[in-house]
Homo-oligomer: A and B are copies of this chain.
Amino acid sequence: MPREKQTRNAEKTKRLILNAAEILFAEKGFAGTSVREISERAGVSGPLILFHFRSKEGVYEAVKAAIIGRYASANSPAPRPNAPAGEFIRDFVGSMFAFYRDNPTMLLLAKWGHLEGEADPWPGEDEWHHMYEEYFVSAQARGDIRGDLTPMNIFSFICGSIHIWWEYHEHFVRHAENEGLRARADDRFLNDLLGFALRGLSPSPGDLEYSGTGRKC
């Protein structure tokens, strides 16, 4: 008769551990987070964590895998390669902006990981970059955006702007001039970025051709 206190539930325990670890790793990085802290936050003992995940590194990898899972399911439909540039850029910028807003731990973990010396990109990251680069190449080919910019750099401008916004979000919001602007700071930023990017990428008769070779393969 299983009426004893139901503490033994491996799946639930693992979930508790991963949730606690994700928050702590995002906040303090890998080295700065102790197994003890994770255990306290998750409400289990330290050794139990190592039992389930073998080592602190094991927990870390499992956290990253969980985030990638969420990421993949949020960005399931790939963009149409022949969509008009205006529409594509709106989708791209808007969904990237929203993803980081809704998943703040992802940006933090990526930044920590980068500084802490993780060499390799996250699984799927390269393909993701590649997909957007491809789009810019083809939009340039049909004259839908200006042809004189390196496609990868276009991607960087947009990513960099969104990264810095969420990375220093507190600072930017605190810095806003009054309550009203503070409340709409996110909308305003997204709107400004779209306006800036759309005009910055618009073609003009005098543009030189991009002199790269297009994609490698």
Contacts and interface: CB of A to CB of B under 8 A. Distances in A.
A157 interface: yes
Contacts of A92: none
Contacts of A29: 29, 31, 115-116
Q: Say what secondary structure dominates the interface of chain A.
A: helix
Q: How many copies of this protein are present in the complex? A: 2
Given A177-B216, A178-B213, A199 B189 contact: no
A196 B201 contact: yes
B199 A153 contact: no
Interface residues of A, number: 52
A101 to B, nearest CB: 15
A164 B29 CA distance: 20
A144 interface: no
Interface string A27-54: 0010110000000000000000000000
A193 interface: yes
Among A175, A192, A195: residue with most chain B CB under 10 A: A192
Interface of A: 29, 31-32, 108, 111-112, 114-116, 121, 129, 146, 148-150, 152-154, 156-157, 159-165, 167-168, 171-172, 175-178, 181, 188-189, 192-193, 195-197, 199-202, 204, 212-213, 215-216
